[in-house]
Every structure is written in structure tokens, then in C-alpha cells.
A = this chain, B = another copy of it.
Amino acid sequence: MYSEKLPEAIDLSHHLSEVSKARAISPLKGLQKYMTKPGLITMAGGTPSPEYFPFSTVSGETLIPESFPLTTQSSSSFSWFWKIFGAGAGKKEKTTSFTINKWPAHTGDLNLATALQYSPATGLAALQKIIQEFSQKVYQPSYKNFTTLIDAGNTDGWGKAALTLLNQGDGVLCSEWTYPSALAGIRPWGIKTVPIAMDGQGMRSDSLRETLATNGTLRPHVMYIIPVGQNPTGATMEAQRKKEIYDICVEFDVIIVEDDPYYFLQQSPYVPKDQRADEDAFSRTSTEEKFIAQLAPSFLKFDYQGRVIRLDTFSKTVAPGCRLGWFTCNPQFAERLERAGETSTQAPCGFAQVMVTSLLLNWHYEGYVRWLRALRLQYQERRDAFIDALADAFQLDMAIEINGHRKGSLVYHASLKPERQFSEKSTMRYSKPLFSFVPPSSGMFVWLKLHLEEHPSYTAVGYKALEFKLWTALADHGVLFGFGSMFSASTVTDETKGDGHFRISFSSTEHDDMKKAVSTFALVFREFMKD
């Protein structure tokens, strides 16, 4: 077997936080060696009788894995119109159904008597098995004894990982722009952020090395990173950069927490509408295996020591309300994370566990990957529709970025189109574009850089006030974007110089609304620049 040749995880217990080390083995843990005794009469736990669970059965009707196509539909019939012109107009979506009974008909059947009972923080055996096999097949960790453990989604997972590894006053390495809730979760505990400069692939390895080399004994020993469809920039880190970063983390003994919710939403490069083909690189892959092979590798693929804690979630691939995800990490960390689970969330919700397990048992691995292949294309089409709308409303010009956090990327610079070509004076020409962006390579967001230098008040109030002013004007006109400054990992910034940013999500807005939002944006931005 593949993994047999691999090394085992090394001892990394010196990274455990004081809180984590102090977590006792669960008081009930001592009972577990007796639990498997045949005919055991257990009167130890405060477990209600399943007879009194008022649910006799729960059922689900689920879409088939082939519900969405693998090739781009013609640009006038976006697949989310299916709801209106397809299912919504009488054409029924294809589903299969399952039912889970309270009592199992055969040993090992999923059943509510077990799923809705108290259970170890490791969750249902069938789900454990699915997750372990999935991580093995897809991420291929480079050490033998990797362990998977379910959690209540990546926010929960990151919180548990952070407090398992970090003490008050410790620093966390992160990208200079990053997911604000990840920081909001740890800052109240007195944990500091140490931002690392980015380029078009995300975190820079040279900046990482420089930070670690100059921090001496106070240097951070934990990294938080979103390597695919980086939030907010949309950047995806390729194999070479990941290997560089991994090797630096080995050298400086850093644990990598890989938060990867957008892994399966990897997208082909944006191609302007008139040059776009029905097929793209991802669609051309003919099998599930080839699709998986084409995805940027996880940090786990380089992890021969067990220093990566990978966070996976069903939030983006099934539904956020599942509140279900999992860790993949070395057994030493998994054991401490399990202890953390026992005294907080316990096992994730039993309803979610049976629902997701049933879905995945029905779909099988191949069906799930088929679902993911189509899902990424759906989000790619949404991304393309949004950028197409920007191209309709603004003048877009392309250039390779040579500086800053987008270095090396193909950037689209947007300028206002003339208001009315002849009837008005051309008062609104600016020497620089109004905003610019890199089409994301995964995920759900377009990260706009706002070029506000030519705004009349720029020198007086600075970019941050202007960013907020434009954001507020847009909100007042009925369009809500994410404002950029909340994604900054720096606690101290120069508020007067720099660029504003918006993070715009294209993941769930209808096509017509996208177009409307972009028109409003053009209109409001034009007015905004006048004063």
C-alpha cells in the first residue's frame, strides 16, 4: 500500500499550548476499554433512552451527482436560470432519496438511536471512514499515520487548532490580507497577528523567511493560511510555492494550519466573453481521478513530518448549515483536538452527520467528485458573469502587475466609459484607472483595489475614509460589497496613504442582480469621484 513506504509523524508536542496540555483525558475515557465487552450492561453515562427520541425516521431527497453539467452552457443560458426556466417551470430536478430509521435493521446500519445519542467527539463510524479515505485519496499526506477528526466546520476547527497550539502573547503568521473572522476568533485571547507580504500566489516565501529569520526566540510557531482561493484576494498557491513554504516551516519549526474551504472551487483562468470556449482545462479532464490530479496540491502532500493541520468543511460543497468539517493532522494533535471537542462542541450534530453520511454513501466517492467537478464550473460561470458585467460597464485594460500583493498576476484595470459620448464635456477622465482586480483562480470573491488618489478629498481624509464613504454610498443605493480594510491583518496601518479595497462575492447573486449591482457601482463611483 502507498502509505507503507512513508515515514511516521515526528514528535511535535512542544507546540502544544498550556491549555491544551492541561486538558485531561476525559473522565469517561477510562471506561472505554470495557465498552466493547460483549453483553456489557452500561449504567455509567447520562444517556437518555433512544425510545424517547421523538424522531422515528428522518429522510432526505437529494440531487443526483450529475445535476449540473461539466461543460459551460452558452453564455445566454446560465445554469442558475434553470431554476426559473427548468425546475421552477415544471421540469423537475432529478433526486434520489434515503430514510434513516430510529432502529437499525442490520448491525452497522445508520440509525437515529446511535446518531441522536451522545457519542464520542469522533462522530459516527461510517462518517469517520468516509473522511479518512477521502483525505487519503485526494490529499495524499506524505506520512503514514495521519489522522482525521470531525469538527463543526472550519471556524470551529480553526478556533480549536489555534487554542491547541497558541498561548497568550504568541504570534500567528498570516497573509497581509486575510479572513477577518479567523483573526477575530483569536485576538481576544491575546494572540497577535504577524502579517507576511503576498504576491499573485498568496503568501511570499521570501517574506516569510525574512520574518522568521529576524524574529529570534520570539518568532511565531504557527501559520494560518488559506492557500486556495485565498480570502479575500482569490489567489491560489501552486505546488512549488507550497513546497518552499513547507520547507521554511520545517527549518523554523512552524506548524501550518491550512484552512482550505475553496479547494474544490478551483477555476480556469478568466477568458473575456468573446474568446471563451465551451470547454476549459478542468472540463477537458475526462475522469474523476484526472480532475483530482489537476487541482493544486494540499500542503499535506509535502508534509512528511506531520506539521500541517488541514481544515476541510462541507460548507462550500454541501451546505454551510451542516456545521460539519474535519481536521487532517498527526495523531498527537488529533488526540488533543479530540479532548478539546469533548468539553465544547462534543460530537457534531447527529442530524447533520446522518444526512451528510447518507448523501455520501449514496453518491459514493466517484459521485461526490462528479458533483465537485460541476460545482467548480458553476462558480466559474458566476465569476465569469460578474467580470463580464464589469467589462460591459467599464473600460477594462490588462497588464501584468510588477509590485505589491498581486505581483506576477494579470490585472484588469477599469476606467469609466464616457458618460455620453458627445453631449457632455469629458470632465470625468482620470489618468489612472478607478479600480483594478485579478480574476480569482478559486473561491467566491473578486478583490477590487480602488484607486482613490484622484478623489478630491484623498489628501485631506485618506483612503480609508474614502473606502468607507464609497461603501456607504453603494449601500445606500442598495448594493452591499465587503469593505476592504476589515481584511487587513495589520493592526497598525497608515490610514492616509494607500488604496481602498472591496471584496465582492459572486457566489449567490442572480445574474440580473449582478448586472444591476455593477451598473449601480459605475453610477455611484462616477458621482463619488466628483466629490
- Residues in chain A within 8 A of chain B (CB atoms): 18-24, 26-27, 31, 34-35, 37, 39-63, 67-68, 80, 83, 93, 95, 112, 115-119, 152-153, 155-156, 159, 180-181, 184-185, 187-190, 231, 261, 315-316, 318-324, 342-353, 355, 359, 371, 375, 378, 382, 443-445, 475, 478-482, 486, 503-509, 513-514, 516-517, 520
Contact = CB atoms under 8 A, between A and B. Distances in A.
A469 to B, nearest CB: 14
A40 B478 CA distance: 5
A23 B516 CA distance: 36
Contact of A41 (B343, B445, B480): B480
A156 B19 contact: no
Give the most central of A42, A353, A478: most B CB within 10 Å: A42
A347 B62 CA distance: 23
Nearest to A168: B168
A261 to B, nearest CB: 8
A440 B378 CA distance: 59
A67 B53 CA distance: 11
A93 to B, nearest CB: 7
Contact of A59 (B43, B58, B119): B58
Contacts of A486: 27
Contact of A27 (B37, B155, B181, B321): B181
B189 A319 contact: no
18 contacts: A27-B180, A41-B478, A41-B513, A42-B480, A43-B517, A46-B316, A46-B505, A48-B320, A48-B444, A48-B508, A49-B80, A52-B375, A55-B355, A112-B319, A115-B321, A116-B321, A323-B347, A344-B344
Contact of A318 (B24, B54, B62, B359): B54
B59 A63 contact: no
B181 A343 contact: yes
- 7 shortest interchain CB distances as A-B pairs: A321-B350, A116-B321, A349-B349, A116-B319, A351-B351, A22-B188, A185-B343
Contacts of A24: 184, 187-188
A419 to B, nearest CB: 23
Given A43-B504, A184-B343, A322-B351, 17 more contacts: A27-B181, A27-B184, A37-B478, A41-B520, A42-B480, A44-B480, A45-B482, A48-B316, A54-B62, A58-B61, A116-B320, A116-B322, A152-B152, A155-B343, A185-B343, A185-B344, A351-B351
A264 to B, nearest CB: 11
A115 B21 CA distance: 37
Nearest to A445: B46
Contacts of A53: 318-319
B159 A41 contact: no
A118 B351 CA distance: 17
A250 B316 CA distance: 48
Overall SS of chain A's interface: mixed
Contact of A58 (B60, B231, B323): B60
A480 B31 contact: yes
Contacts of A189: 19
A200 to B, nearest CB: 21
A323 B343 contact: no
B509 A344 contact: no
Contact of A47 (B67, B346, B481, B505): B505
A508 B351 contact: no
A24 B23 CA distance: 27
A323 B344 contact: no
A34 B187 CA distance: 27
Contact of A352 (B50, B316, B318, B351): B351
A465 to B, nearest CB: 15
Nearest to A17: B188
Contacts of A49: 80, 378, 382, 507-508
A23 B184 contact: yes
A472 B45 CA distance: 16
Nearest to A262: B46
B342 A323 contact: no
Most buried by B among A56, A180, A478: A56
Nearest to A321: B350
A207 B504 CA distance: 59
Contacts of A355: 55, 58, 351
B58 A63 contact: no
